[in-house]
C-alpha cells in the first residue's frame, strides 16, 4: 500500500476558544460501543480528535454537553446508531488546550497535541468577514436622509 505523506502540511488547531466543525463521529466497536470518537476541524485547516469513553461518567457528561451544543437538544438517552447523523457537520465553540507529548519525535522535539477541553456553547460556524459598522454620519448619509419622502411613513402602523 502506498500513501502520501503530510510532512510540512500539519496544522495545529489554535489554543483557546475556537469554532470547530464536527467532521465525523464513530461509535466503536460498532456491535457494543465503548467509546465515541469525534473528529473536529478548524477553519485554519487544523484537525483534532476527541474520545469519550462511555463507561466514564465525566466523559459521558462532556459528550452530552457537546451533543447539546451541536443539536440544541438535551436528551435523557442517546442511541449510538443515530448520533453521527445528528451532529456531523454541526459547529460548536470549544475550549482547545495544547499539551506536550512525553516522547520525542525523530527531530528530537516533543510533539504538541490539541485537545478539546470542553464544549462551551453552540456556534454559527466560521462565517464570513463582516464589514465594520460605520457609526459616523457623513455628508452622503445626510443627503440620503433628506431624500426620504415624508409621506412614506403613513403606511406604518401606530
Domain layout of the chain by residue ranges:
21-122
Mean pLDDT of the chain: 83
% the chain with pLDDT above 70: 76
Range ranked top by mean pLDDT from 39-48, 98-107, 140-149: 39-48
The CA distance from 46 to 78, in Å, is: 29
Confidence of residue 75 (pLDDT cuts 50, 70, 90): confident
Peptide bond connecting 29 to the previous residue in cis, omega within 30 degrees of 0: yes
The CA distance from 41 to 50, in Å, is: 11
pLDDT for the residue 115:
94
CB distance 87 to 67 below 8 Å = yes
Amino acid at each position: 500500500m502506498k500513501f502520501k505523506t503530510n510532512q510540512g502540511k500539519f496544522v495545529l488547531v489554535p489554543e483557546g476558544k475556537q469554532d470547530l466543525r464536527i467532521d465525523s463521529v464513530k461509535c466503536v466497536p460498532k456491535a457494543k460501543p465503548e467509546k465515541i470518537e469525534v473528529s473536529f476541524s478548524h477553519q485554519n485547516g487544523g484537525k483534532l480528535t476527541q474520545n469519550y469513553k462511555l463507561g466514564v461518567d465525566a466523559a459521558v457528561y462532556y459528550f452530552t454537553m457537546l451533543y447539546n451544543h451541536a443539536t440544541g437538544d438535551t436528551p435523557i438517552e442517546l442511541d449510538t446508531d443515530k448520533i453521527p447523523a445528528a451532529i456531523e457537520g454541526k459547529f460548536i465553540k470549544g475550549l482547545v488546550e495544547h499539551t506536550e507529548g512525553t516522547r520525542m519525535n525523530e527531530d528530537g522535539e516533543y510533539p504538541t497535541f490539541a485537545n478539546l477541553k470542553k464544549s462551551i456553547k453552540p456556534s454559527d460556524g466560521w462565517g464570513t468577514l463582516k464589514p465594520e459598522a460605520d457609526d459616523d454620519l457623513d455628508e452622503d448619509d445626510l443627503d440620503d436622509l433628506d431624500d426620504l419622502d415624508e409621506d412614506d411613513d403613513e403606511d406604518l402602523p401606530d
